Amino acid sequence: MTFSASLIRLALVDDHLLFRKGLRALLEGFSNVEVLFEASDGQELLECIDALPIPPDVVLMDLQMPVLDGLQTTRLLRAQYPQVRIVIISMHDEPELIEQLRSEGAHGYLLKNANPDEVRGAIEAAHTGESFCAVVG
């Protein structure tokens, strides 16, 4: 895996506040990651990105969310912001679902029980154009 020396500008999306805040605390401990904002669903994410002069490099996003779920949001992100890299973090480990997300443009897939090194690795891989999947099946 290639380490990127540049700061990775990241958006964090999850509808569970406690999980999102805990994940943000972890991410803020990574010296090469800057969390730009948090959103609770895909619609809020898109509104936040629209308000920025430059979109985030990476979106770390839950799959199952209200309003716009991770799959719908992935499709919209790929259409509106093709340069943004997408990493899905979910409790679901079904191979068909993961493959569908990849085919829709997701660059990485993590389970919510991933360790911090896997989270960092997925973000760095997505940022450098690689793909990452921490699901062993």
- Report the interhelical angle of 70-80 vs 42-51 (nearest 10°): 20
The answer to whether residue 46 is domain-embedded is yes
Domain count, the chain: 1
- Is pTM beyond 0.85? Reply is yes
Which helix or strand (DSSP H or E) is residue 58 part of? Answer: strand 58-62
The answer to whether residue 50 is domain-embedded is yes
* pLDDT-derived band at 2, boundaries 50, 70, 90: very low
Q: Is 75 exposed, middle or buried, given 0-12, 13-18 or 19+ CB atoms closer than 10 A?
A: middle
Instruction: Kindly tell me if the per-residue pLDDT of 42 is higher than 80.
Output: yes
DSSP reduced 3-state for 13: strand
* 121: CATH: 3.40.50.2300
Q: What is the pLDDT of residue 132?
A: 84
The answer to whether residue 32 is domain-embedded is yes
Instruction: Kindly tell me if the per-residue pLDDT of 3 is higher than 80.
Output: no
Range of the domain at 99: 8-133
Tokens of 90: 């979910």
* pLDDT-derived band at 88, boundaries 50, 70, 90: very high
C-alpha to C-alpha distance for 70 and 54, rounded to whole angstroms = 21
* pLDDT-derived band at 5, boundaries 50, 70, 90: low
Q: What is the pLDDT of residue 22?
A: 97
Q: What is the pLDDT of residue 131?
A: 87
Which helix or strand (DSSP H or E) is residue 73 part of? Answer: helix 70-80
The answer to whether residue 1 is domain-embedded is no
The answer to whether residue 2 is domain-embedded is no
The answer to whether residue 42 is domain-embedded is yes
